[in-house]
Amino acid sequence: MTLHSDDQLKDDSYATGYPTDSIDWLRRLIGFDTVSRHSNLALIEDVQAYCEQLGLTVDLTFNDAKDKANLFVTVPAGANADEVNHGLVLSGHTDVVPVEGQDWTTAPFTATIRGDKLYGRGACDMKGFIACALTLLPQAVKLSHAGQLRRPLHLALSFDEEVGCLGAPLLLADLKARGITPDYCIVGEPTNMTMVVAHKGVAVYRCRVHGQSAHSSLTTQGVNAISYASRLIGYVDELADEISGRDDNDEWFDVPYSTLSVGTIQGGTATNIVPNLCEFTFDYRNLPHMTQDDILVPIKAKVAELSAQMQARAADTGIELLQMEAVPAMTDSDSAELQALIAALTDDDTRHKVAYATEGGQFTNSGIPTIICGPGSIEQAHKADEFVALSEMARCDAFLQKLLASATSQS
C-alpha cells in the first residue's frame, strides 16, 4: 500500500481534476449513463483513477462479458500499513433504472439544481451516497498516513443491483478469496438518513404451463394451458392468504408478513383454439426468518399434482417452474453493535424494517453485519425528476465525518 508524501497531503483536493465536495461529485456521477442495460465501466474507471491518485490500490471484479465491473478499495489502518482486514465498508450500486417513458422536466443525465433539490437519474438511488463517500476518501487517506486510522475504511461499488443484485455476490466472493473480512457494512440506499436494520428477501419465479392445442369445438382433444395455469394461480393466492396469517409475523415491517403476488400472465393465440402455452410470473417477499422452501415445497407439490392430471390426457404436457431472481433478506440478528454506533452518531435511535430488497442481505449472508442508511427518500427512486434534497447530502456528509472520526485514534 503506497500513500502520498506529506507535501501532497496538505490539502483535500490533491486528486487533480476531481471534485472536492459531494455536490460536485454527484453532478459528475449523474453524468455517467449507467442504466443497467449499459456498461458502467466509464464511471468505474473514473473512480479508479481518482482512487489511484490518492495512492490507493483498486480491485475490480467483472461480469462474464467484461463490460461491467465492481470496484473495491481500502484505506488501510495505520501509517503505511498493510492492514486491510476488518474495518467498515461503505457500499453503493452504480447502476440506475431507465428513463424511457417517463415525463422528465430536466435532462436526466445532467444534474440540475432547482431550489433546495438536485435532480437527475440516480440522485437519490444511489449516487448521492457514493458522492459523499468519495468526498470522504482524501481525509481518510490523510488520517491513515498520519497513523491515526484505527481500522480500515472500505468502499464497495457494484453493478446490476437494479436487475437482481447480480454484481455484489462476485465482489463478496472475491473478498472471501482474498481473506478480507470487514467488521461492518453500511449500504447507502435512500432512507432519509434514518437507520434500516432489516429487509425482506425477494424471489421471482416464472411458470410455463405446456398444454396441447385443439380446435375449441373439440376441447376433449386438447389440454388447456390457461385453465391449468389459473388453477395454479388460484393456489398461489390461497398460499398467500395462508402465510399472511402465521403467528410468527413481524410487526416492525410495514407489511408484517411474507407476501406472494402474481405479476404477469400471457397465453393463448385465438378464442377458437385450446391454448397450448400459458406463462405467468410471481414474486415472494419473505421475512428474514422465513425461507424460499416455505412456499416452494407446497407449490412444487401442487405443480406435480396438476402436471400429473395434464399428462394423463397428453404425455408431453406439464408445468415448468423456473427461478428468475433471488435476493436474500437482510437480518438484524448480528448488527446490534453497529446499530448502537449509528444511533450514537446520528442521535437517532429509530430503527426501521422495510419490504424492498437491497444488497444488504448479500452482505449479511456473507457474515458482515449491515445496516442501510443514506441520503434521499425511497419515494423519489425510479421516478421522473428523481431528486435528492441538498440538506440530505449535507446530513450524509456530516454523518460520514462523524463515522470517520469514530475510527481514529483521537476519538
- The bridge status of strand 69-75 relative to strand 153-158 is antiparallel
The number of beta carbons lying within 10 Å of the beta carbon of residue 54 is 21
Name 202's Cβ contacts closer than 8 Å, sequence gap at least 6.
283, 284, 285, 286, 325, 326, 327, 357
In angstroms, how far is the first alpha carbon of the chain from the final one?
24
Is residue 95 annotated as part of the catalytic site, yes or no? yes
- In a 3-state reduction of DSSP, which class is residue 49? helix
* Nearest-10 crossing angle of helices 128-145, 390-406: 30
Selecting among 6, 7, 46, 161, the annotated active-site residue is: 161
**Cα–Cα distance between 265 and 258 in angstroms, integer?**
22
Containing H/E element for 403? helix 390-406
C-alpha cell at 29: 456521477
Catalytic residue, candidates 7, 33, 64, 95: 95
Rounded Cα gap, residues 328 and 308, in angstroms: 32
Dihedral sign, Cα of residue 334, residue 337, residue 342, residue 343: positive
Is 349 noted as a catalytic residue in this protein?
A: no
Residue 186 and residue 88 in contact, taking contact as beta carbons nearer than 8 Å: yes
Nearest in space to 22 (alpha carbons), one of 340, 388, 314, 301:
388
For residue 311, CA distances in Å to 160, 235, 260, 299, 314 come to 40, 19, 27, 18, 5
Residue 237: Cβ-neighbour burial (10 angstroms; 0-12, 13-18, 19+): middle
Return the active site residues.
95, 161
